[in-house]
Amino acid sequence: MKLLTKSLVIILLAFIVACQPKASEENVDADSTATETNAEDEVVAEIATTMINPNLATEEELTAAGLSETLVSQVLEQRPFIDMMDLHNLASQELDSAELVALYGKMFVPFNLNTTDEDNFKIIPGVGSRMAHEFEEYRPYSKLSQFRKEIGKYVDDEEVARLEQYIFVPVELNTATEEDILALPGVGKRMAHEFEEYRPYENMEQFRKEIGKYVDDKELARLERFVYLK
């Protein structure tokens, strides 16, 4: 009888344990998902901050990107490059196609999404005829978020983040949000604040006058291509 009673107790305990919710496993799954999401965010963040802008790079950064002493000197002398094709034509005089692809994986002058010729998009590493067509297909772009949405139909978030390094969407000076302004190449929080500080702008000459207090003529010319007035 004791043996039977003991067996019944064991069976009952096993049943109770089996019916308990697997909280620990659920927590593990949730933690794993959070870890994977954080890891993806870190990868995207890293990708989004690795590209060198040749208009802002130091001599040391240009050299580290793989440019010869001669090419570094030419870049420093001729910048700012308002259009990437100007830099491409210069670099092509010294580098072959494979070397250009390697260079553009480290350094680039972002293309204006709304005005760049479709064929020119193809010098972006990993962009072929189909993707270049998709870049052009969704024009006009009003915000960078539109690019993310449309191009995100074809590639994953990591690739969208990589491609973002190669393009920009011009912003309207009087209505652009801080987020829109910060998405412009080489524009940090301080400069974004100055862009907003002098609103409303009545004309581009006012922009040149006010922002010219903080940067030289070359940098002003670079910044001017990123903005417009309605």
Task: Write the pLDDT tens digit of every residue in 72-113.
Answer: 999 999 998 989 999 999 999 999 999 999 999 999 999 999
pLDDT at 180: 94
Supply the mean pLDDT for the chain: 84
Place of tokens 């490059």: 81
**What CATH architecture does domain 171-230 belong to?**
Orthogonal Bundle (1.10)
Max Cα distance, the chain (Å): 101
Q: Can you give the residue ranges of every domain in the chain? A: 52-109, 110-169, 171-230
Identify the three-state secondary structure at position 30.
helix
Instruction: Assess whether the region 52-109 and the region 110-169 belong to the same CATH fold.
Output: yes
**Class of domain 52-109 as given by CATH:** mainly alpha
Residue 56 has what pLDDT?
86
190 in Cβ contact with 202 (< 8 Å):
no
Quote the pTM value: 0.74
Give pLDDT tens digits for 147-186: 999 999 999 999 999 999 999 999 999 999 999 999 998 8
Under CATH, domain 110-169 is a member of which superfamily? Answer: Photosystem II 12 kDa extrinsic protein (1.10.150.320)
Residue 210 pLDDT = 97
Token pair in block for residue 203: 């004309």
pLDDT at residue 5 tops 50: no
Residue 45 φ/ψ region, left for φ over 0, alpha for ψ in the -120 to 50 degree band, beta for the rest: alpha
State how beta strands 111-112 and 171-172 pair: unpaired
